[in-house]
Amino acid sequence: MIRSILDNDLYKFTMQQAVLRLYPDALAEYRLTNRGGTPFPGGLGQKVKQEIMKMAGMGLTSDQKKWLGTTCPYFTPAYLDFLSSYRYDPGEVTVLQEGDRLAVSVKGNWCRTILWEVPLMAIISETFFAMTRPDILSREKIRERNRAKAGLMAGNSVKFVDFGTRRRFSSANHEYLIRDILAMDSHSLTGTSNVHLAKKFGLTPVGTLAHEWIMFHSALGNYSTANAVAMDAWLKIYPGVLGIALTDTYTTAVFLKDFHHRAAIFDGVRQDSGDPLAFIQTMIDHYKTLGIDPASKTIVFSDGLDPDRALAIHRACDGRIKDAYGIGTNLTNDVGTTPLNIVIKLSGCSTGPDTDWKPTVKLSDDRGKHTGDKEELLRCMNDLGID
């Protein structure tokens, strides 16, 4: 199911390098949330454990290391040496199943545990569908869907990236998707978040940072300073590159309070919850207020997209601001069944073994995507003045 250590999203590696440089002693815990409330078949937990054990032997090959160094020049030799010595430790993962309920957690040094999230979700998704054996479309019909989507995007000059590792139907279907698109006479696929597939197909690996980066920084101070501290820390590691900021960890309204001089430094922002059309206007107005030409900045849209929705957003941008699209589950799990609605998020952290453990939460521009302990969520909202 997981083919190599690079069968993961780029932003896990970019964040891992930053953690290694700035917070090498930090500890972290991640937990699975089954947003969709899907009942899991008996025995799934055991099969997931078996797949986790298979990952223990994965390592970075010399060829992969060389490719990363060339393709991703923001990775330092020191980090690539670290990644070469890295091995997944299944002891960091706990999988428990009671009836149809699945509990998954990861705990340990943050610069190690950070790589587990995406492959764990992919394993859970693929195992679920392998066990439930749903009726799915034929390979030919799936190919037609893949090409129709890519054709719609290309025909309207909408560039997009595959963001579909986490909730894919299977690793094989993920690879078929890329093959189907690349076999077309023309397409507007510009890359993939999956580093393994980027290398295999000569694509650009795409990604910057995730919510956990900002969530951790709330533990360094408080919720009101988390966005600013997280952005400044990111700029220390990646000056002039990977300059897309994530707005909605504690709502975009809170984020924008700290996005003034930093708005000129970052290339743009990523929209991952809420109303994308309202978000476009919010960002255009914000840039104009700062004396920044919105047309010089980019919004990356990544919230539950399909090509039709991406096209509607693209028309709304209409040259006013640059746009890009990360399309995930709709590309890699559109086979005639209902994808899982699961996430694995940072649930707690500490800056080192001798510091206090702090719970972490994520708000959102969509209340349905809030995650974390309920009491801590209320405290966070209270601190930020959010109803």
- Same domain, yes or no: 15 and 155: no
pLDDT of residue 156: 97
Instruction: Spell out the per-residue pLDDT of the chain, length 387, in tens.
Output: 999 999 999 999 999 999 999 999 999 999 999 999 999 999 999 999 999 999 999 999 999 999 999 999 999 999 999 999 999 999 999 999 999 999 999 999 999 999 999 999 999 999 999 999 999 999 999 999 999 999 999 999 999 999 999 999 999 999 999 999 999 999 999 999 999 999 999 999 999 999 999 999 998 889 999 999 999 999 999 999 999 999 999 999 999 999 999 999 999 999 999 999 999 999 999 999 999 999 999 999 999 999 999 999 999 999 999 999 999 999 999 999 999 999 999 999 999 999 999 999 999 999 878 999 999 999 999 999 998
pLDDT of residue 205: 98
Rounded to 10 degrees, what is the CA torsion of 250, 251, 257, 263? 100
Q: Find the domain containing 224 and state its range.
A: 139-332
- Same domain, yes or no: 45 and 74: yes
- Count structural domains, the chain: 2
Is residue 3, in this structure, part of any structural domain at all? no
Helices 276-289/307-317 angle, 10° precision: 30
**β strands within 2-111, DSSP E:** 27-34, 93-98, 101-109
Name, in order, each residue with C-beta under 8 angstroms of 112's C-beta and a sequence gap of 6 or more: 86, 89, 92
The Cα diameter of the chain in Å comes to 58
Is residue 56, in this structure, part of any structural domain at all? yes
Q: What is the CATH number of the domain that holds 276?
A: 3.20.140.10
Is residue 174, in this structure, part of any structural domain at all? yes
pLDDT of residue 81: 98
Look up the pTM and report it. Answer: 0.97
- Same domain, yes or no: 205 and 226: yes
